[in-house]
Structure 1
Amino acid sequence: MAGQDGGQDGGQDSEQGGSYVEKGGFNRDMNYVPDRITQDGRRPEHGPVEGELWPVEPGRYRLVAAAACPWANRAIIVRGLLGLQDVISMGLTGPTHDERSWTFDLDEGGRDPVLGYERLQEAYLKRFPDYSRGITVPAMVEESSGELVTNDFPWITHDFFHEWRDFHSADAPDLWPTDLREEMEEVMKRVFTEVNNGVYRCGFAGDQESYQDAYDRLWTAMDWLEERLASRRFLMGDAITEADVRLFTTLARFDAVYHGHFKANRVKLTEMPQLWGYARDLFQTAGFGETIDFAQIKTHYYVVHKDINPTQVVPAGPEPDVWLEPHGRG
């Protein structure tokens, strides 16, 4: 079964292009609905325009996400940091899904209260009756029509910042600082290919050679991050950027899921002083920690990935209280 936490477990290895294929290895499908939501439906200043352009309009769109999914978790965090809660509504699915779709089993009656759907699949099929790819979160859905707009997760958060600026809160952080953008893009690319996606390459490796290659690549990147964070509070310096959001959602799941379930087990996150302090620093920052639901995260991975965990037994630990210990990075 294709895993649906942000994409089918098959496809490309870069958020914005670049294929990665290996024998017995993992391919993430990055072929999403490429529509963009922009100011006045304009051509965006950054990135490709391969689909339709939709205008920014408060109250028109609903972000459908899942607390369990690291890719959707990004969108939840960025929406909150920018203060977009009153202009973009949000629906949350439950932590598990079957081969068809994520479901709204957390809501009363098992239906999203705005869209009226039991399954996110309904929004995809409403727009594309013959849609045959993975039903992924996050997804932007037009409330009035109930149709999917886009599920292209890297651009969803990018456009929350660049295209919804008129509706940001007064204290919204500058998640994409102009003077750091070029370096930030390089950092985010490495974080995605080697860490965000790297844990999946470990977990879904089909043979020992592929696993060893994935494991080595992951820990080379983790060591690079440990060294980088020894001389700066956040990935790009003294302030939080989207690069930190993108790394955080993987770190938050590392010891609870990736260390054991995905065999990314050289050491635990708690055993890497800089990364562990950094992760706690973010967790204790408003907009981050409150989006993390460890019970849903563990339920998703250990129940949905039956090929890796056929018993579907969900581990009891680790204890989450350690995330609230002083981080010492201020």
Structure 2
Amino acid sequence: MNTGVRITAFAAALAAAFGTAYAVGQGMDPVVAEAEPARHGGHTDEGQGEARGGHDGHADQSRGAQSAPGGLQVSEAGLRLDLETQRVEAGRNTELRFAVVDDKKDRHVTAFRREHGKELHLIVASRDLTTYRHLHPVRAADGTWSVPVRLPEAGGYRVFADFTPDTKGARGLTLGADLAVSGPADPDPLPAPSSTATVDGYEVTLTGGLRPGTGSELLFGVAKDGEPVTDLQPYLGAYGHLVALRSGDLAYLHVHPNGEPGDGTTQPGPEISFTATAPSKGAYRLFLDFRHEGKVRTAAFTVHAGGPAAERTPADGDAESGHRH
């Protein structure tokens, strides 16, 4: 084969390869986010703060669409989550240390906007979505963050840093990194869907569900000893905070409630309303934080967005969701 023929043949093969890749890409749906017992808990700081609106780009869906759910990337917009503590031992108290790094300047970020009373919110969740922690670490002057944590079960975990840099034009980000918890691992199956969850004598009921690509209301009702709770206390400037994690890849959504304390219309219970949009069909685990009698508790639910599973009536019975500190 002469040189001209070989070049022609190579070009044809290259064109065919690109054509195949394009066809495969066209066949994939993009992931787009728009406007058993759960061992979870562990709020290290229950301080209150004033709500300051949404977290652009990482789950406050009242501010419009975003390109993808948060937490799937360790680096975005030139910032990187540097998880110094990458492995801990199950059942032992450990200091979790990390920093947000500006890759262009090659230094730690030290200026953050306060969102709901905190510069940064840290979420730690097991891959099987049965252990959950909402933590508030402390930042040192050099930009290193630290927080004590005790994780009960061995296995794979994901750490989410939810923050907004204090720079002009900065948007909110959620960066994620993997954390290994050593010890004998025996992952649990995803808890079955249920419309009720109990924690510390409180019963929380869920009305509504997630829908892919469109907003829908999630209404949580809180009761204790069979009586509606009408004196919920503000926690980080709201009567409730909701985190949704997608089963499989742990795509992260942090959804803020409809209304806030002191706005003249929002009541301190028994109901807490949210509007959320699922980025895709699939199973999700919802974690609702609420404060009452001076203590923050977390109720957990499994829901399905879209597909046949979402059309079925949730299984009867409570999903027990103990809140550990």
- Give the structure with higher Rg (CA): 2
- Whichever structure has more helix as a proportion of its residues is 1
- Structure with the bigger RCO (C-alpha within 8 Å, sep 6+) is 2
- Whichever structure has more strand as a proportion of its residues is 2
